[in-house]
Chain A
Amino acid sequence: MAFVIPKETYSGKVYPVTIGTGDNAVTFGGENVLPFNGFEGSTPNKPVIAYEIQDIPPSDWPENVKKPFEAVSGDPVKWAKHCQDTLGARAIALRLTGTHPDRENLSAGDAAKTVKDVLSAISVPLIILGSNHAEKDSQVLVACAEAAKEKNCVIGKAQEANYKTIVAAAMANNHKLIAMSELDINLSKQLNILITQMGFDKERLITDPMSSALGYGLEYTYSVMERIRLAALAQNDATMQPPMVADVGMYVWKIKETQALEADLPMWGDLAKRGVLWEASTAASLLISGAELLIMRHPEAVQAVEKFISEMS
């Protein structure tokens, strides 16, 4: 008897989410099977990688990931154009780091202006991220959502402490929204419920279960993502059916493994190579656990993961 591949079928399906406008809009999600298991069902869209840029020069990024952008990173508009035109980015994630009270403490108005400038320079979708300061984000993201009205951006991240104002702003200006909770599947479901109870369409949500870097709790993120995806597919839990984002770069490029010099730790090998590998393997792991949208930094790591996606699909 010929070998027959055993197949799982699921009752649930991940919502497809489209971001951006016109010819350069991209769609991710939409599958009714576990990641890359296209032989069991339908996987209409491949995962999307967004290049991360900042509103202020990346003084806190390690040398190795600062370098590829050194000619452009002094200006978010140039930086965005470089990612789109030279690196072929399908989406750009603008992190408004400069608005954090402990950094430049830029105002919501400053942030809105940066968003407007970047949007007028690019045609690929934009993901607008706050500085992860709950209180400040709720001012900054409201102003930015308005500045980006009708551009079908992603606004992030709404958290338990500040979701109300951010949800209202995303809803009023017709954007998609990232809902982030801190590595807890039940709180992640609860936040999605609270957000949809405000009238926000669950098919416009993106879940961020909180990322981590390889070696720094990646297995927790992996496990939470995997369980979210199983709840979506096997239990047909509509609150867990939005696609998931993995915010990879910011976690990877602050750990020792992406910064320690080879001279200090010779057994760790070439630092340049090590950093790229670390970001790529963290991203690939999170794709396998269920992420549909990745936010990454290093062009070589992005290329490696693009290759991984096309080989796995």
Chain B
Amino acid sequence: MLIIGEKLSIIAKRVREAMMKKDKGPIQEIAKTQWQQGAGMIDANIGPAEDGGEDLMQWMVTTIQEAVPLPVCLDTTNYQAVEAGLKVHNNEWGRPLINSTSNDPERFPMLELAAKHNSQIIGLTVGKGGLPADAEERAGIAAEIMGRAMEYGVPLEDIYLDPLVLQVATSQDHALKVIKAVRMFQELNDPPMKTVVGLSNISNGCPKHIRPILDKYYLTLLIYEGLTAAIADAHGVAETAKTIDIIMGKTLYAHSYLEM
């Protein structure tokens, strides 16, 4: 399973300060740690970035790729910032991933960017009218996103469908609905559609010591249903991902498998 290292978010104080000061040190250090702990891609979340988003995203992409040989997940609602980031992205280590389009018309232009720059893209299964009620509604939105992607010329293999994980503390019934959606998404195409989740949403708002436990067990169930990728802290989930790969026969067992 692909881990998209999530630690580079503007929400974190240390990262925000580094972004403001254009201080490469902390950004590269975090990216490196995520890479060493098993991330196959790095999420660069610069928020809405209304002012100077283009510069900031370009700086983030180049700063990250100077430090680690990985592709970047461009995480912002700012269309211009995404395009600016795609222009400087080094595809030598894999293609970029746009985070994200959805069923909201304001997000349709992201598909245009994906087609134009040969990028992969996350399709978040929400519309303009609020949160989906269940797995079936998520799958319905997914189908609409897929149809639109084809109109824009984005191949279905380049789409990661995101069922939108909600907080277990406030929306407990959605935990299972999301798992079901991951299963249903894959049935929407042959070869199966790729899927992604923002894992830590499940434990958002929970006491700090419980969060890694919730994340880990939730990820286990999701991977069992065929999840392709998770935006998560590599440090917290690498052990789970490696262990499930062993149990599911995707990696050959050896006593030191966790060290690989």
Contacts and interface: CB of A to CB of B under 8 A. Distances in A.
Interface residues of A, number: 14
A190 B256 contact: yes
A237 B252 contact: yes
B254 A186 contact: yes
B257 to A, nearest CB: 8
A185 B252 contact: yes
B250 A235 contact: yes
A81 interface: no
B250 A193 contact: no
A59 interface: no
A239 B254 contact: yes
B260 interface: yes
A197 B257 CA distance: 12
Given A193-B259, A197-B259, A239-B260, A186 B253 contact: yes
Interface string B17-59: 0000000000000000000000000000000000000000000
A193 B254 CA distance: 8
Interface string B168-196: 00000000000000000000000000000
Interface string A7-21: 000000000000000
A235 B251 contact: yes
B255 interface: yes
Contacts of A190: 254-256
A240 interface: yes
Contacts of A185: 252
Nearest to A192: B254
Interface residues of B, number: 9
A71 to B, nearest CB: 47
Contact of A197 (B251, B253, B256): B256
Interface string A172-207: 000000000000011101100110010000000000
Contacts of B259: 193, 197
A277 interface: no
Interface in B210-260: 250-256, 259-260
Nearest to B256: A193
A197 B260 CA distance: 10
A231 interface: yes
Contacts of B252: 185-186, 189, 227, 231, 235, 237, 239-240
Interface string A194-230: 1001000000000000000000000000000001000
A237 B242 CA distance: 13
B254 A189 contact: yes
A150 to B, nearest CB: 31
A60 B250 CA distance: 45
Interface string A156-186: 0000000000000000000000000000011
Nearest to A190: B254
Nearest to A185: B252
A235 B250 CA distance: 7
A108 to B, nearest CB: 31
Nearest to A189: B254
Contacts of B260: 193, 239
B242 to A, nearest CB: 12
Contacts of B253: 186, 189
Nearest to B245: A235
A265 B83 CA distance: 81
A242 to B, nearest CB: 14
Name the residue in B250, B252, B260 with the highest tally of chain A Cβ atoms < 10 Å from its Cβ: B252
Interface in B111-133: none
B2 to A, nearest CB: 14
B229 to A, nearest CB: 17
Interface string A83-126: 00000000000000000000000000000000000000000000
Nearest to B249: A235
Nearest to A188: B254
Nearest to A193: B256
26 contacts: A186-B252, A186-B253, A186-B254, A186-B255, A187-B254, A189-B252, A189-B253, A189-B254, A190-B254, A190-B255, A190-B256, A193-B254, A193-B256, A193-B259, A193-B260, A194-B256, A197-B256, A227-B252, A231-B252, A235-B250, A235-B251, A235-B252, A237-B251, A237-B252, A239-B252, A239-B254
Interface of A: 185-187, 189-190, 193-194, 197, 227, 231, 235, 237, 239-240
Top 3 nearest A-B pairs (CB, nearest first) are A189-B254, A190-B254, A231-B252
Given A235-B252, A237-B251, A240-B252, 7 more contacts: A186-B253, A189-B252, A189-B253, A193-B259, A194-B256, A231-B252, A235-B250
